[in-house]
Amino acid sequence: MSIRHTMKARRALTAVAITTGLVLAVAGCGGDGGEDKGNAKASSTSTDKGKADGEEPKESDVQPPPEDTVLAEVKGGGGNTTLIVNSAVRDEGGFLTLGGKVRNGSGKFWNPTSWRGSEKELSDNAASMAGASLVDRVGKKKYLILRDTDGRCLCTQFSGGFKENEEKTWFAQFPAPPAETTKVDLQIADMPVVTIEITDGE
């Protein structure tokens, strides 16, 4: 009788030992998984932080875009058209190149057909800066826009006209006035005459 009780007790102790071992093993695995998860979380946080730092640089590192220099700005066409001149550079090759923007503020489509000028040689330039001219009041001389042997002007052609409130860039090239001339008057179509200061390029 005592032997049977002894065997039962041993079996019970063995079962308890096995159960305890399994519980500890499961707890150990769970602990490792939790640790890995914590490491993964820390790694993910570090990576996300690095990514965020890459996408959002410090304010001191962000440089504002340079602003255009406005040499002149006039409005015409009932105040609906704005002509802006941003540059007027005279180079050593004997050319004066003007550049800027034209803005259609009419609220509807606009095609500057009258800007091509009235000269027969420029009739194939459609809506363009071909009709622009410069006047050197000091030297008392007028400069017409340069053109090639086929009559195409060395200037911007506004293909397709201007959509409502659209803005386009332009350039126009002229013979350069003498070095002592520092200012010229720009005229095109019905736009007001505007005085521009010349910059000497390289």
> pLDDT digit string (tens) for 48-87?
444 444 444 443 343 333 457 899 999 998 889 999 999 9
Q: Is 116 part of a structural domain of the chain? A: yes
* Residues 55, 76 share a domain: no
- pTM of the predicted structure, to 2 decimals: 0.64
CATH number at residue 88: 2.60.40
Residue written as token pair 């010349």? 198
Cα 121 from Cα 65, distance rounded (Å): 41
Q: In the prediction, which pLDDT does 23 show? A: 39
Q: Is 67 part of a structural domain of the chain? A: no
* Residues 87, 120 share a domain: yes
Cα 132 from Cα 141, distance rounded (Å): 14
Choice among 3-7, 93-97, 167-171, 192-196 with the minimum mean pLDDT: 3-7
* Residues 89, 129 share a domain: yes
Q: 90 forms bridges with which residues in the sheet? A: 96, 200
Closest CA to 170 of 87, 68, 100: 100
Q: Is 19 part of a structural domain of the chain? A: yes
Number of domains forming the structure of the chain: 2
Q: Is 66 part of a structural domain of the chain? A: no
Q: Is 154 part of a structural domain of the chain? A: yes
| Alpha-carbon torsion, ordered 33, 36, 41, 46, to 10 deg | 180
- Domain-terminating residue out of 14, 32, 61: 61
* Residues 120, 191 share a domain: yes
Q: How confident is the model at residue 4 (pLDDT cuts 50, 70, 90)?
A: very low
* Residues 76, 11 share a domain: no
* Residues 15, 101 share a domain: no
Q: Is 101 part of a structural domain of the chain? A: yes
> pLDDT digit string (tens) for 147-192?
988 888 999 999 899 999 999 999 999 999 999 999 999 999 989 9
Are 158 and 102 contacting, i.e. CB atoms less than 8 angstroms apart? yes
Q: In the prediction, which pLDDT does 92 show? A: 87
Examine the pLDDT at 6 and tell me if it is beyond 60: no
The amino acid sitting at 195 is T
Cα 101 from Cα 112, distance rounded (Å): 14
- Domain-terminating residue out of 16, 40, 61: 61
The residue among 154 and 2 whose pLDDT is bigger is 154
* Residues 77, 34 share a domain: no
- Domain-terminating residue out of 42, 61, 80: 61
* Residues 45, 89 share a domain: no
| Termini Cα distance of the chain | 117
The 10 Å CB-count burial string (b at 16+, else e) for 111-134 is: ebeebbbeeeebeebbbbbbbbbb
* Residues 78, 120 share a domain: yes
Are 109 and 80 contacting, i.e. CB atoms less than 8 angstroms apart? no
Q: Is 9 part of a structural domain of the chain? A: yes
Q: What is the mean pLDDT of residues 15-35?
A: 44
* Residues 145, 176 share a domain: yes
Domain range for 130: 72-200
* Residues 54, 105 share a domain: no
Cα 63 from Cα 46, distance rounded (Å): 27
Examine the pLDDT at 27 and tell me if it is beyond 70: no
> pLDDT digit string (tens) for 96-131?
999 999 999 989 999 998 898 888 777 788 889 999
Q: In the prediction, which pLDDT does 201 show? A: 82
The residue among 104 and 21 whose pLDDT is bigger is 104
* Residues 132, 45 share a domain: no
Q: Is 105 part of a structural domain of the chain? A: yes
